[in-house]
Amino acid sequence: MTISTWNFYERHGRKRALAADGLLDQVPFKKSGAGLHVGHLLGYTATDILARFKRMQGFNVLHPMGWDAFGLPAEQYAIDTGTHPKITTLRNISRFRSQLKSLGFSYDWDREISTTQPDYYKWTQWIFLQLLKRGLAYQAEVPVNWCPALGTVLANEEVIDGVSERGGHPVIRKPMRQWMLSITAYADRLLEDLDDLDWPESIKEMQRNWIGRSQGAELDFVVINGNGQEEEKRITVYTTRPDTIFGATYLVLAPEHPFLSSLVSEAQSKHVEEYREHAFRKSDLERTELQKEKTGVFTGCYAKNPANGQAVPIWVADYVLGSYGTGAIMAVPAHDTRDFEFAMKYTIPISWVVRPDDSNCGNFEKPYSGEGSMINSSCSESGLDINGLPSKEAASRVIQWLEKSGNGKKKVNYKLRDWLFARQRYWGEPIPVIFLDDTGEGIPVPETELPLTLPELDDFTPTGTGEPPLAKADSWVITKDPLSGKPARRETNTMPQWAGSCWYYLRFMDPKNSSALVDKAQEQYWGPVDVYVGGAEHAVLHLLYARFWHKVRQAK
């Protein structure tokens, strides 16, 4: 179809068919002053072919286009060029729209949306308030990837070799007050419902791995002081292999573990602190990279293995994350590759406790991570004896013993962490919360006052203090509680770039509705999306976040 022919259809309308079919592209994200690239056109051409085919079959096709235009890349481009992000964003949208129209794609431009428009992000803010009402949005002091030069928190995926992906600026780990969304409360549903999705198996498997559900046990190791006496302090570890407890020959704490500073001996204090500072310059992805050489420092302190009473050294190493499990592990070098490499490097004892069913030998040159029969796993003092048991039965026996002896319990864990939902930058959706001056209590902005619009700032550059740029907008920040009239201040963090893209598929169904996110009748007619085309790199962020928000919205 030629451009002129399609323009005729746009002017005079198209005959409405009875059956609906929704085709959706991942909308372009405004990263800079550049235009569309061939990657955009690859997916857009495919969906356009399908849209035309479905129309010829008599379907009423929803084939829209919009712009995901908030976020750090757009803001950084504006800073680099000295032009306000609102201006650069509108300019880029105009360029993209012109390019798409010149290519003759059959989009329904009457449904065009932009995540930066107040009539759109009004409903992004409304969704946040629903999360807040349900206790799924909360504040916490969490270690984050802080980039002083960019003046914002970065996701793990945005940090490479200790520097920001954009600009190559140094990044450090720093505790900061952040808004969090409790996506972990939906971990089981997000995992189990994947089976019902008609998605490529590779995408579903990426989400399964990202959620990372595992079953195991939490157990306590009592700290031993320099005189060999037990202290009241206990280090709790999480393990998926409680059957290997007799093979634990050392503990490893994450560099950010809260007990670390109080455990370190005076002789090791300087070494540990230097190691921590170095670790805080790495992202979580870098720290857990399987191919990297394992490093660590001995704390000078020991703990008691509850199964056999042996004193095991406590180390700090960056391959353990404070955000996963308890931030501490029991290391079993004979049966874990990372622990084995670490133990070999630092000459830590290795104790073999699992014998493969096809082997008569318990002495191996390489770690064995599979199941088998238990060996060297008995202690009369603790009363725990699992010698000869198969691994699964041994694990159950150990958990029973832990719970009976008060040394631990059964535990289900997830790799998935709660969603860090705050950014220290200007170009994003304002978070609709105020804080009372006298108590510091956070109060949601009434829904009738939405949208809470982004103030115009001439200076939108980072403050350099950790405060977001919005803190400069005094006339906007200083406000009053609409109910009590008490003095208050607005939240100056903004939402992350993923916020507006979590739900645009719904807004396309009813883009001009000012009284609801989407009319139920419109959603029932058009939904759900039949075909969604985009990059697999969005499988564990954009697509997972969208599923989370949709489940919260549908929950009774």
Q: Domain residues of the chain, as ranges? A: 3-116+504-535, 127-187+199-209+419-490, 214-413
- Give the per-residue pLDDT at 9: 44
What pTM, to 2 d.p., does this model score? 0.85
Q: What integer pLDDT is reported at residue 4 of this predicted model? A: 40
Q: Nearest Cα to 308, choosing from 372, 363, 376? A: 376
pLDDT digits (tens, 9 = 90+) for 424-446: 899 999 999 999 999 999 999 99
- What was the pLDDT predicted at 327? 93
Going from the C-alpha of 105 to that of each of 33, 111, 502, 526, 546, the distances in angstroms are 22, 14, 24, 20, 26
Task: Name the band, by pLDDT with cuts 50, 70 and 90, for residue 143.
Answer: confident
- What is the rounded (10 degree) CA torsion for 131, 324, 297, 240? 170
pLDDT surpassing 60 at residue 541: yes
More confident call, 516 vs 283:
516
Give the DSSP H or E segment for 346.
helix 337-346
Radius of gyration of the chain (CA): 28
Judged against a pLDDT cut of 60, whether residue 15 lies above it is answered with no
The yes-or-no verdict on residue 556 having pLDDT over 70 is no
Closest CA to 123 of 399, 397, 387, 511: 511
Local confidence band at 16 (pLDDT 50, 70, 90 cut-offs): very low
Residue 5: which pLDDT band, with cuts at 50, 70 and 90? very low
**pLDDT tens-digit map of 348-406:** 999 999 999 876 554 567 899 999 999 999 999 999 999 999 999 999 999 999 999 99
Average pLDDT over residues 154-181: 84
Are the CB atoms for 24 and 533 separated by under 8 Å?
Answer: yes
* pLDDT at 452 > cutoff 90: yes
Structure confidence at residue 18 as a pLDDT band (50, 70, 90): very low
What pLDDT does residue 227 have?
74
State the average pLDDT for the chain. Answer: 90
How many Å apart are CA 226 and CA 223, to the nearest integer? 10
pLDDT tens for 323-347 read 888 999 999 999 999 999 999 999 9
Task: Report residue 207 as tokens.
Answer: 């989400």
CATH architecture, range 3-116+504-535: 3-Layer(aba) Sandwich (3.40)
The predicted structure's pLDDT at residue 8:
39
CA dihedral 193, 416, 116, 79 (to 10 degrees): -150
Higher model confidence: residue 467 or residue 385? 385
* Percent of the chain clearing pLDDT 90 (strictly above): 71
> Between residues 114 and 80, which one has the greater pLDDT?
114
Per-residue pLDDT band for 73 (boundaries 50, 70, 90) equals confident
Does 322 have pLDDT greater than 90?
A: no
Q: Which residue has the higher pLDDT, 30 or 475?
A: 475
Long-range contact pairs involving 350-353 (C-beta distance under 8 Å, separation at least 24) = 350/249, 351/246, 351/247, 351/249, 351/376, 352/247, 352/376, 353/243, 353/244, 353/246, 353/247, 353/377
Residues 424, 467 contacting (CB under 8 angstroms): yes
Task: Output the pLDDT for position 40.
Answer: 84
Confidence label for 1 from pLDDT (cuts 50, 70 and 90): very low
**What's phi and psi for 76, nearest 5 deg?**
-65, -35
Average pLDDT over residues 13-34: 58
Given a cut of 90, whether residue 85 has pLDDT beyond it is: yes
Which residue, 544, 542, 530, 525, is CA-closest to 183?
Answer: 544
The CATH code that applies to domain 214-413 is: 3.90.740.10
pLDDT of 76 reads 85
Least confident of 38-47, 383-392, 403-412: 38-47
Q: Is the peptide bond before 528 cis (omega within 30 degrees of 0)?
A: yes
What pLDDT does 26 receive? 74
Sole residue written with tokens 């997830």:
414
Identity of the residue numbered 165: E
Q: Provide the 10 A C-beta neighbour count for residue 191.
A: 18
Both tokens assigned to 279: 């670790």
Distances (CA, A) of 265 to 105, 224, 236, 271, 349: 68, 12, 20, 10, 21
- DSSP letters, 472-493, are G-HHHHEEE-TTT--EEEE---
pLDDT value of position 117: 98
pLDDT at 396: 98
